[in-house]
Amino acid sequence: MDELFNDVEDVPDDAQDDLHEQDDVDMDFSQSANGDDAGGGDDDDDNDDDNDDDDNDDNDDDNEDNDEDMEDDNDEDNDQEEENDDDEEMEEDDEEDDDSEQPTQDVKMEGTEASEGQPESVSADTESGEANEDAKESTRTSANGDTAHEPSQPRPRVDSTSSPRQEQQFSPRQSYRVKAQLASNFDIIPSVAIPYAGQCQSLAFTSGPKWILTGGEDGFIRKYDFIQSIEGKSPLTMAQKHNLVDSITKAGVIVSYWENEQPVTTDELLKSHPKLKPSDLTSATASYEPKTSPVYALEAQKSGLWCLSGVQSGGISLYSMRHSEGQIQYYFRDAKSGGSATGHSDAVSVLKLNADQTQFLSGSWDKTVKLWDLNTGGNVMTFAGSTGQISSIQFRPQELDSFVMADPGGSDNNQNNDDVDSLFGSDDDEGEKGNEPKKEVPSSSSASYPNSQVFMSSSIDGTINIWDIRSPQAVLKLGVPNGTPPWCMSSTWSNDGYHVFAGRRNSTVEEFDLKMPHIKSVAGNSVPNVSKTLVFPKISGPVSTLATMPNENFLLCGSVDNIRLYNLKLYDDLAATGKKQATPFTIIPGHHGGVLSCLWVDDTGRFMVSASGNRGWGQSNYTETVIIYEIDFDV
């Protein structure tokens, strides 16, 4: 205690008792010395000895009184220390209450400043904080021979700058997506080639992507390992590298394959084979050769448990992929099957799963779109009214931000819930848009998710329809503008969901603004409002595939000659100035000399895949190659 306070009055009790015993020993020694001297004197000194004895007795009494006074003082000091300890504990409790009431303010460690009205020793003790209090307790207990307690940990410091909502940790995929949204330039390099003996008509991907499924004109579904293909587990041979760019050195790693079988009923089998008898089907005497169908439509479950494949008769097969791979687990019957079948009557050309993967849309050459329930296997609704064979289906994208998204159990500030206003934008949206900056930095949690209530379909005759999934009739119909060939093999949404891009046969891409979808022509007729027309060289051929990048300023356009990355922001700048300063698109190496059937971009903007095929619509040139591209971007 004397080290903490430099006060002799705070010496421990045991040490003080030792000092008292030493004083008694000294006194006894002096008394014995005086007694020896008295024993050597004359008898005449007896009176003096008696007087000395009386004096010694008085001194002993005085010493005992002093000892009692010192013990009383020590008891008072101990009481004072206990009172100080109680005061300090009360101060700690008060400060803890203050901390709980004001968590966002700076809270200093206890005892950094002396409290008013406290003794000087208490102020000195509070300056050393909880650590000194623990040291004092350890010193006191060690003097008594007890085990000292370990010092307690100080309470965490609360910073006034810390936000009550701590920063969320995001996955690498989310970080990549944010970088891709802010990218100013993309470098797309082909690295993997999958040789194909014919046309590849469709592609499907699991999440990651982990697996890639390809559907060919030959009627086979092939499953490739996407990750091992990117890592170069199977290099290309010298013969396979022929006619490929130098950067392509890896081959696709195939895992398995199976036929896209057309299921046949017993009646159909007996009708097609008159010599067969029903008894032959139950024995091993009859042989059956499965009938395959070109794979014009393919869709995979995100975890790779099953996949959907369309057949030429109008039916849809559900194949298992993890267990009993390649076996049909359920068949969505076509209209030709008779009975209560409500399926398509012609080849299925498009398949699209909804966001929660409990339902899916199918488009067919019979000019209809159907909604199917995967839980019941039944047809929920048929969307009729298209004027041509369905060439593409896509759900409308929807930007969701976890920091600004309305509470699902509550309501947001926009009281106008009309479906048309939510699709084309209301007056309130126009006012809010005018107050927004031109470009916002996307948050790390923002991402595009499909809106399962609104979707778009395009037909091969060039028309585009916008549908509400709750109504069998189209909400909006966009016809073919004047001077545009009646053809559309691919269409896609913009990232914000307010524009639609359509590829045309005359080497152009048209953009439609859904907030003002129609305008009045000179003759007074209502015609589609084409807000932009992206023009490519005439020699490039029809634009058969379109895909948007995570950055809203870039659009991928696939033609017969090449794939081009179009800079929409540069297009706006050129349109504003009226002077051609630079070419608004970049040619991507890899694909050349064939019509494209599919063009897919990873949602993080790291990979792109292209496939070549005519999808049954008469184009004869194709490249017999599926190419995987790796994408680098600058922020």
Closest CA to 399 of 493, 475, 469: 493
Alpha-carbon distance 162 to 165, whole Å? Answer: 8
461 class by beta-carbon count within 10 Å (0-12 exposed, 13-18 middle, 19+ buried): middle
> What is the reported pLDDT for 156?
44
Residues forming a β-bridge with 394: 456
pLDDT digits (tens, 9 = 90+) for 408-417: 333 344 433 4
Q: What is residue 429's predicted lDDT score, i.e. its pLDDT? A: 52
612, 623 Cβ separation under 8 angstroms: yes
Q: Which of 344-353, 392-401, 442-451, 478-487 has the lowest mean pLDDT?
A: 442-451
How much of the chain exceeds pLDDT 70, in percent? 63
- Tell whether the model's pLDDT for residue 107 goes beyond 80: no
In angstroms, the CA 86 to CA 81 distance is 9
Mean pLDDT over 98-106 rounds to 45
- Cα 595 to Cα 218: distance, rounded to the nearest angstrom: 17
Report the pLDDT averaged over residues 276-294. Answer: 79
pLDDT at 609: 98
Task: State the amino acid at position 130 in one-letter form.
Answer: E
- Inform me whether the pLDDT recorded for 460 exceeds 80: yes
**What is residue 530's predicted lDDT score, i.e. its pLDDT?**
94
pLDDT at 10: 46
Sign of CA dihedral 5, 7, 8, 12: negative
Average pLDDT taken over every residue of the chain: 76
Residues 57 and 263: their CA atoms lie apart, in Å, by 126
pLDDT at position 512 over 90: yes
User: Is residue 449 very low, low, confident or very high in pLDDT (cuts 50, 70, 90)?
Assistant: low
Q: Specify the pLDDT at position 400.
A: 42
| Both structure tokens of 180 | 């891709």
Instruction: Retrieve residue 351's tokens.
Output: 């398949």
Q: Decide: 390 and 378 in contact? Cβ < 8 Å.
A: no
Specify the pLDDT at position 110.
40
Q: Is 364 helix (H, G, I), strand (E, B) or coil?
A: strand
Of the ranges 63-72, 260-269, 434-443, which is most confident?
260-269
Instruction: Give phi and psi for 317, each to the nearest 5.
Output: -105, 140
- Lowest-pLDDT range, 249-263, 389-403, 457-471, 523-537? 389-403
Q: What does the pLDDT read at residue 51? A: 46
d(CA 245, CA 524): 52
Q: At what angle do helices 120-127 and 129-143 cross, to 10 degrees?
A: 110
Portion of the chain with pLDDT greater than 90, in percent: 51
Torsion over CA: 56, 58, 61, 65 (sign): negative
Phi then psi for residue 221, to 5 deg, are -105, 125
In the chain, the amino acid numbered 343 is G
Per DSSP, 374 falls in state T
Residue 364: pLDDT band with limits 50, 70, 90: very high
How would you classify the pairing of strands 250-251 and 253-259? Answer: unpaired
Q: What is the sign of the dihedral through the CA atoms of 605, 609, 614 and 615?
A: negative
Residue with more model confidence, 544 or 418: 544
Q: Which of the 8 DSSP states describes residue 155?
A: P
Structure tokens at 633: 């971007």
User: What single-letter DSSP state applies at residue 7?
Assistant: -
- Which range of 236-245, 356-365, 516-525 scores highest in mean pLDDT? It is 356-365
Tally of CB atoms within 10 A around 134: 16
Give yes or no for a contact between 306 and 329, defined as CB atoms under 8 angstroms apart: yes
Backbone angles phi, psi at 475, to 5 degrees: -75, -35
Helix, strand, or coil here: 287?
coil
pLDDT tens for each residue of 217-248: 999 999 999 999 999 999 999 999 988 999 99
Instruction: Report residue 424 as tokens.
Output: 């084309």
Whether 364 and 348 have beta carbons less than 8 Å apart is answered as: yes
Question: Which segment of 205-209, 286-290, 540-544, 630-634 scores lowest on mean pLDDT?
Answer: 286-290
pLDDT at 502 over 60: yes
Predicted TM-score of the model (pTM): 0.68
In this structure, which long-range contacts are made by residues 614-621, counting pairs with CB atoms below 8 Å and at least 24 apart in sequence?
Answer: 614/199, 615/201, 615/202, 615/296, 615/349, 615/391, 615/489, 616/201, 616/294, 616/296, 616/347, 616/349, 617/391, 617/460, 617/489, 619/542, 619/544, 619/595, 621/560, 621/593, 621/594, 621/595
Rg (Cα) of the chain, in Å, rounded?
44
d(CA 456, CA 392): 8
Which of 429 and 514 is assigned the larger pLDDT?
A: 514
Q: Summarize pLDDT for 246-257 with one digit per residue, the tens.
A: 999 999 999 999
Structure tokens at 135: 């040291």
439 — phi, psi (to 5°)?
A: -140, 130
**Euclidean distance between CA atoms 596 and 611, whole angstroms:** 6
Res. 103 pLDDT band, cuts 50 70 90: very low
Give me the mean pLDDT over the 524-537 stretch: 90
Query: Please, which contacts does 96-105 make with residues 24 or more away whose CB atoms are closer than 8 Å?
Result: 96/155, 99/155, 99/158, 103/158, 103/164, 104/158, 104/160, 104/162, 104/164, 105/158, 105/160
Tokens representing residue 469 in the block: 């999934």
Please report, for residues 87, 181, 182, the alpha-carbon distance to residue 440 in angstroms, rounded to integers and kept in the order given.
Answer: 55, 10, 9
Phi/psi for 598 (5° steps) reads -145, 150
Q: How many CB atoms lie within 10 A of CB 329?
A: 11
Check whether 315 has a pLDDT greater than 50.
yes
Q: Is 453 a residue whose pLDDT tops 50?
A: yes
Q: How many CB atoms lie within 10 A of CB 445?
A: 16
Measuring CA to CA, how many Å separate 453 from each of 468, 510, 570? Answer: 6, 24, 33
89 burial level (CB within 10 Å; 0-12, 13-18, 19+): exposed
pLDDT at 89: 52
**Structural domains of the chain ordered from first start:** 186-260+295-398+447-634 (2.130.10.10)
- Place 355 in a pLDDT band, splitting at 50, 70 and 90: very high
For 141-193, write each residue's pLDDT tens digit: 444 444 444 444 444 444 444 444 444 567 888 888 899 999 989 999 999 99
Judge contact between 360 and 376, C-beta under 8 A.
no
Name beta bridge partners: 42.
none
